[in-house]
Structure 1
């Protein structure tokens, strides 16, 4: 079981310089659906195809239930990203596919609202979550994948200390089409992100 008091109101859970990360709560639906809705055109080309009820409360309840189940099973930790200066929801980040034993690894995925892009929030969030993965969960390796022409995402990962390891052909079905992805990874004993690329 994870060591933090998730799914209670002890929030925020994790803090960076610019962001605070905590688990999504049922009452977050309105702020989440508003941010996702206004950012739809910005997000869709990088995500799995949205369902017709993507932003509805019923789909939200299902999503929250899945987050709780994954957390209880120790396979994923889903967090919302809040801008510390305003307290507003800015995006989301997940550490998923968590494996222990000989693998000791996980995979990071993330999204950010269009109005918060380019402010360094996601780089800070990735660094904070990487610290949690290595220090609290004792993982050895965390991975992330991004579409080769997603320059913003590549910049985030490289600033957060991830190294490109290769190309995964036809890796994920994004917005209705199979897409190649670059594979990035960071290892627990890699130099801190501040000692790599600024």
Structure 2
């Protein structure tokens, strides 16, 4: 899928170097929204190990990882993952995403989120997709609203972000009301 000159495609082992570069460039920008990261995270080797773990989760059916890469250069500009996939009567998954600072405001996150919801519904048969944002992350909350998510709760001290346990607003998008197709 192409969005404003950016390709949304499956994450691959060869993406480690590009991810290390973009994450290093955006380190200070993303720090308020991220868990504490060690120095290894920002290296090609660290990203290679991380990707291996993500692809293992994909192969086990628990995660669908995507990369957003500039179509002209192949350089990563963001990522979106559908994870915590549970089939059967729960038929649910959780989504997380990030976009490099210089690519904000171009509709990438909203379009990618809509595509992930389509995959969740049409390919996986999920009933619901959920997401959480820091209470003060209004930009991400706008993205979720544009993609049809509604807030359903507040989770106190939900995730350890930027050195402290942080409250999160919880959102969901119901995709259909059909009975579960998998179990």
The answer for the alignment partner of 2:79 in structure 1 is 92
CA contact (8 A) 1:16 1:125 kept: no
TM-score (norm 1): 0.83
Partner of 1:77: 64
- 1:103-126 CA-to-partner distances (Å, cap 9, x unmatched) read 000000011111111111111110
Matched, 1:119 2:106: yes
Deviation at 1:61, TM superposition (A): 2.1
Q: Deviations over 1:45-86 (max 9, x none)?
A: 101111121112221221121012101110111110124576
Question: Structure 1 residues 115 and 88, CA, compared in 2 at 3 Å: closer, same or farther?
Answer: same
Q: Displacement of 1:41 after TM fit?
A: 1.1
Once the two structures are TM-superposed, the CA of residue 27 in structure 1 deviates from its matched residue by 2.3
Q: Distance in 2 between matches of 1:90 and 1:177?
A: 27
- Give, in whole Å, the separation in 2 of the partners of 1:88 and 1:69: 23
Choose the corresponding residue for 2:50, options 63, 66, 75. 63
Q: Distance in 2 between matches of 1:131 and 1:24?
A: 18
1:165 pairs with 131, 142, 152, which one? 152
- In structure 1, the partner of 2:90 is 103
> How far apart are 1:32 and its partner, in Å?
1.3
| Post-superposition CA distance 1:136-177 (Å, at most 9, x none) | 111000000000111110010000110011111111111121
User: Secondary structure at 1:32's aligned position in 2?
Assistant: helix
Shifted more, 51-60 versus 146-155: the winner is: 51-60
Which residue in the other structure is 2:164 paired with? 177
User: Which consecutive residues of structure 1, in runs of 5 or more, have no partner in the other structure?
Assistant: 1-14, 191-198
Q: Distance in 2 between matches of 1:161 and 1:61?
A: 33
Any conservation in 1 of the 2:121–2:176 contact (CA below 8 Å)? no
Deviates more, 1:16-25 or 1:89-98: 16-25
Deviation at 1:21, TM superposition (A): 1.9
Is the partner of 1:139 in helix, strand or coil?
coil
Structure 2: tracts of 5 or more residues without a match: 178-183
1:32 aligns with 2:22: no
Structure 2 residue aligned with 1:50:
37
Report if aligned partners of 2:19, 2:47 keep a CA contact under 8 Å in 1. no
The residue aligned with 2:143 is 156
Number of residue pairs matched by the alignment: 176
Deviations 1:1-58 (A, max 9, x none): xxxxxxxxxxxxxx15434322222322222111111111111110111112111222
Distance 1:16 1:97 in 2: 26
